[in-house]
Amino acid sequence: MNKKPVLLRTIFTLIVVGVFVAAMFPLREKDFYETFLTLLENPSDPLVKELVANAKAKQESDKVKYPYASTALEAACKEIKVPGKDGQSYPVDLIKLVKPVIMKSQKLQNNGDVISLVRKNASGSFHLGIDLNGGAEFLLRLDPDEKAKANFDKFRDNAIETIRKRLAGQNIFETEISPAGQDFVSVRVPVVTKADKANLEKLILRSAKLEFRLVHPDNDTEVPKFERYLAQGGDPDAYPDTPPESEFLSMEERDSDGNLFYRWTLVENEVQMEGDQVEDASVRLNEFGMREIALNFTSTGAVQFGKVTTKYVHRKLAIVLDGKLYSAPNLKEPILGGSASISGNFSQDEAKSVADALVSGSLPFKITIASRSDIDATVGEETVRQSLFSGIIGTLLVIIFMIVYYRLAGVVADISLVVNALLLLGAMAAFDVTLTLPGIAGIILTIGMAVDANVLIYERIREEQNAGKTIRSAVDSGFDRAFSAIFDSNLTTLFIGLILFWQGTGAIKGFAMTLAIGIFTTLFTTVFLTRLLFDLILRIPFLNIQNLKMMLFLKNPHFDFIGARKFIIPFAVCCLVGSIVVFCVRGSDMLGIDFTGGTQLIVKYVPLEKGAERVPVSQIDDYLKSVGYDSRSAYKQVTDDDNKEGASKLEIVIRSSKDHNTQVSAEISDQLIRDLDAKYPQIQFTKESSNTLGALIGFAFLKSSVIALILSMIGMIIYMVIRFQFSYSIAANIALVHDVIVSMGIYALCGGQLTLQVMASLLTLIGYSVNDTIVTFDRQRENLRLLQGSQMTYSQIVNLSVNQTLARTILTSLSVLLILLSQIFFGGEGIRDFISVMFIGCVVGCYSSIFISPLITAYWHKSSANIREDAHAGDANAEDGKTADPA
């Protein structure tokens, strides 16, 4: 038995499970204002009541300007004035209203920090992706500067990647960003809370245009004149005496009592240096404990900044970001080290978003939000409900299967699976991971790997029991002997996941995060928790367990897999060549809307019958597909300047085709509306607008994805060379490529298209294929060590190893197939492609781990030391009695 104290391990397990379960709450978003009041020392203070009332009134009176409670509260703080000790009036400082213990523990410094904390506390723990729960869409209008006008498309594409990087800096990876007609970009983010939308709006609108300018020499004499003008009620934008080529900018500061005020500074318009040479930006605390942004320039930028600070030594350098003055330090001496800092009254969120924006790059556009929309789940609400139901059925089938097959050990495995799911969900909530369809793919792979680990352990325990060991000794040996296979398969998959996270973007990064978390939870539950449960069960006297009873699927299989190479090799080659032929024949027709873009129709949706239910998008998509349209649909609630209350719209995107020009697309869209009217007479459909929608998967996205996959394969080769042999790494990668190509070929042959859903399935297939292959290789490695010096050939040892792991390979695949079959029969149409590719890949992966990868290693090796090679691998069966019973 495990020598470590059971009590300590039990306490540790309960603490870990408790922490991650607690991270799952609150499940839903809380009221922003109620959450705000819980942070205050005196919620009944008249000033607090006035603040909340003012903020709510702003939201009611102008929903466009104040769409979120956080922006309304921020504006109310600036509008309401409170008297200071010096008799002057100052804006409301929330820091003085917050409980001191909260202010110190959270290191709050300004109103922005307080509002950010309220947003965080009010938000729910779980974040679902656009595909599962909808989100927000911002339609951005791009007003280019002179530099960008000449090559608008290039700068627009760069802007899309810049926005994507900024969102990634906020741990929001599952975004949909694409061109949307001339001068517009559609940004869809998986956020549904108003607080999150307010925060993202600021981030998206930030141009990150950093300028180093000079404070005007006459600043000390001109500013008092300007302030007297303002005191008399003058408009700052209409001041008539502003010196030429300069402007007045305000800068936030605090006085000695901590009161916030604004200092006006006269700044020259001439830009001495721009921020395009910033290499890195990070947030740090200065000597006064205030946040500042540390800048590091490129080598070229360092030289340029040194020249500016040398030329204007003893002048004040104004640091202006997006038209706002943050600081104006005095240049006491030249700065030649290639670094600088921006000080200011930053909130924690603002400082991080500014730093992220500076690193990701500035935008050569003035960005305005043309409209905001709340979009429904892109796979459809009905599909989400059906998928949840079918997922529960599939999980129950796996639980029942484990109990029926492994009896008491199956109960232990099921407890481990349930805890694994809780830890996985808790970790996703704790780390703010957005759950999307690719994320679900990662979860399914996690379940498969968890079941696989338990099967490996139990089959090893079966071997030890058959060898005559006691139950305690068999359990110990079973865990010890299965550990290397579990460790290598999970670590290799983790390595792939980390590279995908490092180099991937969007859905790929989201999949990688879910996969990485799932690997850690799987290792904890299968290696640590399952063993602890066995230690506890075997210590219960009245159970008196002497033997673990299990069903036996295959008893000592003696199949000649290597001998079947005459059939396997031609079959595999035909599958590969056939798949490539299918790709060539279908060509661009195989690419889905995510790759091609299309024509976006915004359709007004008005029920003609009172109480008529909204038609699910899955039904609309099915109908449009049946009458020949390659399209997808989603409901959205649009809010803009002309429509403050918002209206329900139906968005339909028709896939682009090389045969469709603008006129044909217009004709097709008109016919589509007529078809919908004929199908659903209880609804009036009216086309409101039509735009060309660019591809979600652009060149930069595709490039990063391909690089990530290539690097992951190289990394797998390196790891397997270290842990196994070079031949094993080559065999695993060949099997991996085979699985992906053949699975996609079968799917394409059935008329499927390559979409983001399909990409998620293929990523899952990569992890599944690697996991399956390494388990077989681990048994080969063990048998090569045990049978060193025997008369068995290398092919015979490989064949023996495949037979010994055959039951495990089939059982693991069966458990995953149970989940997938439940999704196919009970899930919705919206994820049918996703599940279909996974089902095909699971079958192909099982076949390749039995036939392809072992065959490659057997062919690779000729005679090794004391291991001979001959042409009749089937003779290995005669030697089976000299080795451990097959698992």
Does 44 or 444 have the greater pLDDT score? Answer: 44
Q: How confident is the model at residue 39 (pLDDT cuts 50, 70, 90)?
A: very high
Is the CB of residue 362 less than 8 Å from the CB of residue 208?
yes
Residue 657 has pLDDT above 70, yes or no: no
Dump pLDDT digits (tens) for 814-845: 888 888 888 788 876 667 787 889 899 999 99
- pLDDT above 80 for 786: yes
Amino acid at 446: T
pLDDT at 662 (0 to 100):
44
Residues linked to residue 600 through DSSP beta bridges, in sequence order:
653, 691
Range among 148-162, 327-341, 683-697, 731-745 with highest mean pLDDT value:
731-745
Q: State yes or no: pLDDT of 454 exceeds 80.
A: yes
Within 10 angstroms of residue 207's Cβ, the number of other Cβ atoms is 18
State which amino acid sits at residue 779: R
Mean per-residue pLDDT over the chain, rounded: 83
pLDDT above 90 for 608:
no
Region 346-371 average pLDDT: 77
* pLDDT exceeds cutoff 50 at 642: no
At 273 the pLDDT is: 92
Task: Name the band, by pLDDT with cuts 50, 70 and 90, for residue 161.
Answer: confident
**Tokens encoding 830:** 């919206």
Residues 230, 267: contact at Cβ < 8 Å?
no
pLDDT band at 879; cut points 50, 70, 90: very low
SS (H, E, C) 341-397: EEECCCCHHHHHHHHHHHHHCCCCEEEEEEEEEEECCCCCHHHHHHHHHHHHHHHHH
Name the residue with higher pLDDT: 181 or 49: 49
pLDDT of residue 767: 76
Taken in order of first residue, the domains within the chain and their CATH numbers are 30-122 (no CATH), 127-207 (3.30.70.3400), 210-362 (3.30.1360.200), 388-577+700-882 (no CATH), 598-693 (3.30.70.2040)
Evaluate if residue 595 carries a pLDDT over 60. Answer: yes
- Cα torsion 250, 254, 260, 261: sign: negative
**pLDDT value at 45 more than 90:** yes
Digit-coded pLDDT (tens) for 59-115: 888 876 787 788 889 889 988 988 877 677 888 889 989 999 998 888 888 888 898
At residue 2 the predicted structure's pLDDT band, cuts being 50, 70 and 90, is low
Q: What is the pTM assigned to this prediction?
A: 0.72
pLDDT higher than 70, residue 698: no
Tens digits of residue pLDDT in 557-576: 999 999 898 999 999 999 99
pLDDT in tens, 484-514: 989 988 888 888 778 778 776 666 777 778 8
Q: Inform me whether the pLDDT recorded for 206 exceeds 80.
A: no
Residue type, 140: L
Spatial CA neighbour of 782 closest among 482, 478, 479, 472 = 482
Per-range mean pLDDT, top range of 302-311, 659-668, 871-880:
302-311
Which of 252-266, 365-379, 463-477 is most confident? 463-477
Percent of the chain with pLDDT over 70: 89
The mean pLDDT of 245-250, rounded to a whole number, is 94
Helix, strand, coil percent content, the chain, rounded in steps of 5: 60, 15, 25
The two structure tokens encoding residue 803: 């037979």
* pLDDT for the residue 205: 78
Q: What is the pLDDT of residue 881?
A: 37
**Range in 90-99, 134-143, 407-416 the model is least confident about:** 134-143
pLDDT of residue 828: 66
Asked if 434 and 127 touch (Cβ cutoff 8 Å), the reply is yes
